[in-house]
Amino acid sequence: MKSYVRRIGTLVSIVGILFFVGCAKKPVEQVKEVSPPKQEVAPVQEVKPVQPVEVPKVEKKPEVKVPSLADQIKEFESVDIHFDFDRFNLKPEARKILAEKASFLKAHPGLKVRIEGNCDERGTREYNLALGERRAKAAMDYLVFLGINPERISTISYGEERPLDPRHCEEAWSKNRRDHFVIIGE
């Protein structure tokens, strides 16, 4: 039994020796110190003084003056539409003017307008009153077509009774065959 213990002791000794020899530390490589690359320094250049730069002046835009409502109404009322002799159909120029008037009325939904139909002096009083009414109604219908509420529009015919030009010639008569527009409030 002693020999058996001896053999085991010898075996343990050999394993221990192999263990210590096998786990020997490997030599560590030494890291060389690396120095940063040499930078070449540019020679100092002579600095020239900076010349002042002329800054362009910005022109002020003229202020746009928004006309007052009273001025806008005055402009609205100053433009009439005109008709051919003995006619109440709207000419292309009249349709353009009515489109501008509709835009104004849409922008000011609280305003109401009265369309005054007028004629020249030729024809009977009754005929001219009827023709003036048809002219005013034609303008009203077109404004309604453009989206204006008919409750905001009234019409009246003055026939030949309110001439713009009192002369008795074709130039005066063409001025008098018209619809006049008046803002009558809210």
Residues spanned by the domain of 119: 69-185
Q: What is the pLDDT of residue 34?
A: 59
In a domain, 176, yes or no: yes
160 contacts 128 by C-beta, under 8 angstroms: yes
In sequence order, what are the residues at sequence separation of 6 or more whose Cβ sits closer than 8 angstroms to the Cβ of residue 75? 67
**HEC readout, the chain:** CHHHHHHHHHHHHHHHHHHHHHCCCCCCCCCCCCCCCCCCCCCCCCCCCCCCCCCCCCCCCCCCCCCCHHHHHHHHHHCCEECCCCCCCCCHHHHHHHHHHHHHHHHCCCCEEEEEEECCCCCCHHHHHHHHHHHHHHHHHHHHHCCCCHHHEEEEEEECCCCCCCCCCHHHHHHHCEEEEEEEEC
186 contacts 111 by C-beta, under 8 angstroms: yes
In a domain, 7, yes or no: no
Q: Per-residue confidence of the chain (186 residues) as pLDDT tens digits?
A: 666 666 676 766 676 665 565 555 555 556 566 566 666 666 666 666 767 767 677 677 777 788 899 999 999 999 999 999 999 999 999 999 999 999 999 999 999 999 999 999 999 999 999 999 999 999 999 999 999 999 999 999 999 999 999 999 999 999 999 999 999 976
Q: What is the pLDDT of residue 39?
A: 64
In a domain, 109, yes or no: yes
Q: What is the pLDDT of residue 100?
A: 98
Looking at the structure of the chain, the number of domains it has is 1
Q: Kindly report the CATH number assigned to the domain that includes residue 104.
A: 3.30.1330.60
In a domain, 49, yes or no: no
In a domain, 148, yes or no: yes
Report the alpha-carbon distance of residue 35 to residue 148 in Å, rounded. Answer: 88
In a domain, 84, yes or no: yes
In a domain, 74, yes or no: yes
In a domain, 2, yes or no: no
